[in-house]
Amino acid sequence: MNRFAVLLAGALLSLSFVTACDNDDDPVQPAQAVTYDGQSVALGQGQVTVYERAAADGSLEAVGIRFDESVLSSLPTDPTALSLKLPKKVSTSPFEFLMFDWNPQGHEPEGIYTVPHFDVHYYIVDEQTVAAIIPGPDSVLPAAQYMPTGYFSTFSAVPNMGTHYLDSQAPELHGSAFDKTFIYGFYRGNLLFMEPMITKAFFESKPDVNIDIVQPAAFQQTGKAFPMKYRISYDASAKQYSVELTDMMMR
């Protein structure tokens, strides 16, 4: 073997050793879940932000809203509604935007929901569709397979919102004090929104709860991921509250 061949063989051996060491020192990192923030707006002395979270494989993991702890101590005295656009980064999400409503005196029915609380509307239609909703009687029910088990209609459409369907088994409808509940919104038989409704006092308890969502047999939209649960939580390190729709299942 000539001198050049010996030198070349030695260089290749050294290179393979360095490469092996580099691979050991810099392992491939596993894919991580990613949070995509949407619109953020001010409320009181804090911020409210909507987001989507994608799992490591790209599937939809959650759609949520978070707000600073300072929001609760600086809320306006008048009812306030915030419309926030979602980032729409995960194609399987059925949701278009969120409406975050602060109700300082609550709302009807009297003696049940007339306590300070938040309505968190996750809309599956766009804002133009919601703006076109006509208030008044709405006697058109969804087809049986689209009706959440045990829910019933209030039969009256709220302008710029829809017709609320309540859970007949909700504790607040059976004598317990209202702290949280889950509502579906339809209009003339079509699903418009899914809505956790949560009292200010329950947020102030700094909860971390996962709650099952009563499901219909099917959804009118197919090829989308709908939530099986919702979560209400407090992050002490970030000093933020969040409300998420989670445990997404493809339909």
Q: What is the pLDDT of residues 30-87, one digit of tens each?
A: 578 999 999 999 999 999 999 999 999 999 999 999 999 999 999 999 999 999 999 9
The backbone torsions φ and ψ at residue 209, rounded to the nearest 5 degrees and listed phi first, read: -130, 145
Cα-Cα end-to-end distance for the chain: 68
Alpha-carbon span 139 to 160, nearest angstrom? 18
Query: Torsion-angle region of residue 86: left (phi > 0), alpha (psi -120 to 50) or beta?
Result: beta
- For β-strands 117-123 and 46-54, DSSP reports them as unpaired
Q: From CA 158, how far away is CA 72, in angstroms rounded? A: 26
For 49-75, letters b (16+ CB in 10 Å) and e give bbbbbbeeeeebbbbbbbbbbebbeeb
The whole-model pTM stands at 0.87
Give average pLDDT by consecutive 10-residue segment, the chain, 251 residues.
Answer: 40 40 52 94 98 96 98 97 97 98 95 97 97 96 97 96 97 97 98 98 98 97 97 98 98 93
Residue with tokens 């092996």: 20
Q: Read off the tokens for 247.
A: 């445990």
